[in-house]
């Protein structure tokens, strides 16, 4: 994404491949390197992060287009979108304050062009994405695969190896 100077790497896969599980394993390991992490996750489903009965939910339900909820520990912004198209990653990046972020991890947005690690489980019977996506740098799999020389195979069950790949390939840091 040319509009951000903050390094980013995506995790692309079919639903049920374990992208979120992998990210929940990688984030604590990346945090041990004193990295400040932002995550952008694409969802194809209608979701609600607020709870019925809470003031912020009531305000949004009453018709507020944007509700910002703030405390001394966190801030959440909920914005109602009237757009009928799928969100684009570049549009979402515009809404992040990246001034204190070292790395952006992106889950989804697999049809967009930016550096990605494909998460692939051959037993799920889905095809590999990399043949049709030149932005895939590596494939994290739970099985041995034969890949082209320019695509690195990463062990999906060894998150520290994937962190090392991110440090070297995305952040240009020696692990």
pLDDT, mean of each 10-residue run, the chain (175 residues)? 77 92 96 94 63 77 78 78 77 83 91 95 95 97 96 98 97 89
pLDDT (0 to 100) of residue 43: 66
CB 163 within 8 A of CB 170: no
pLDDT value at position 1? 47
> Residue 21 in 3-state DSSP?
helix
What CATH number is given for 8-44+86-170 in this structure? 3.40.50.300
Alpha carbon 137 to its chain centroid, in Å, reads: 15
Residue 79: CA atoms inside 13 Å, Cβ hemisphere, count? Answer: 7
CATH architecture of 54-85: Single Sheet (2.20)
Amino acid 131: pLDDT: 95
What distance in Å separates the CA atoms of residue 35 and residue 104, rounded to the nearest whole number? Answer: 10
pLDDT score, position 8: 95
- Positive or negative torsion for Cα 94, 36, 152, 168: positive
Contact yes or no for 152/165 (Cβ under 8 A): yes
Per-domain residue ranges of the chain: 8-44+86-170, 54-85
User: Which pLDDT does position 168 carry in this prediction?
Assistant: 97
Residue 69, pLDDT score: 78
**pTM for this one?**
0.85
Question: pLDDT value at position 46?
Answer: 52
Specify the DSSP class assigned to residue 100.
Answer: T
């Amino acid at each position: 994404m040319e509009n951000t100077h903050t390094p980013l790497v995506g995790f692309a896969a079919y639903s049920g491949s374990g992208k979120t599980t992998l990210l929940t394993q990688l984030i604590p390991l990346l945090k041990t390197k004193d990295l400040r992490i932002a995550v952008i996750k694409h969802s194809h489903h209608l979701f609600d992060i607020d709870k019925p009965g809470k003031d912020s939910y009531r305000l949004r339900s009453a018709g507020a287009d944007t509700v910002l909820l703030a405390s001394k520990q966190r801030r959440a912004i909920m914005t109602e979108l009237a757009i009928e198209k799928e969100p684009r990653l570049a549009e979402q990046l515009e809404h992040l304050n990246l001034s204190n972020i070292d790395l952006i991890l992106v889950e989804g947005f697999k049809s967009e062009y930016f550096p990605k690690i494909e998460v692939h489980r051959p037993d799920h019977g889905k095809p590999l994405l990399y043949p049709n996506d030149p932005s895939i740098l590596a494939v994290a799999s739970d099985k041995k695969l034969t890949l082209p020389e320019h695509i690195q195979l990463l062990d999906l069950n060894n998150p520290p190896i994937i962190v090392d790949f991110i440090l070297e390939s995305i952040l240009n840091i020696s692990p």
